Copies of this chain bind each other. A is one copy, B any other.
């Protein structure tokens, strides 16, 4: 049990460093789109469903408004989205893709394939691993609440 406190045996360390490794693979690909990695995730979510609220995006991306508000302002400055207060409920801010934001999707379509290639795994294997990691995330989120 000596190795209880060895870094290489930490699932957390594996996830932490894998996350950084993914970021490093993504960075050069996303630079061509003028996006950071979290900005890219927000765009992907908006391509799936346009007109989401800040809170709705936060729930999907597991991010707080304190993270999203400045991020979305940068996306607005970049010209990819518009931020509009809802008329029905003035507390809510709705995020809508601009024309340029919609067009960006075409340039982004190839990225997941690049990542899959870099991972050196086939699609089936990746899907299985991805499901396992999601299950881990869900178990952890349940334990906090």
Q: How far is the CB of A138 from chain B (nearest CB, A)?
A: 8
Q: Return the contact of A139 from the options B118, B132, B141 (Cβ within 8 A).
A: B118
- How many monomers of this protein are in the complex? 2
Do B137 and A9 touch (CB < 8 A)? no
Please classify how large the interface on chain A is, using the bins under 10, 10 to 19, 20 to 34, 35 or more: 35 or more
Known: A7-B45, A126-B11. A62 touches B20 (CB 8 A): yes
Q: Return the contact of A14 from the options B60, B121, B134, B143 (Cβ within 8 A).
A: B134
Closest to A41 in B: B13
Closest to A44 in B: B7
Q: Is A105 an interface residue (CB 8 A)?
A: yes
- Secondary structure call for the A interface: helix
Q: Once bound together, how far apart are the Cα atoms of A97 and B26, in whole Å?
A: 36
Q: How far is the CB of A16 from chain B (nearest CB, A)?
A: 6
Q: Once bound together, how far apart are the Cα atoms of A47 and B10, in whole Å?
A: 14
Q: Is A115 an interface residue (CB 8 A)?
A: yes
Q: Is A33 an interface residue (CB 8 A)?
A: no
Do A18 and B48 touch (CB < 8 A)? no
Q: Once bound together, how far apart are the Cα atoms of A12 and B10, in whole Å?
A: 19
Indicate with 1 or 0, residue by residue over A1-25, a CB within 8 angstroms of chain B CB atoms: 0001111111111111111111011
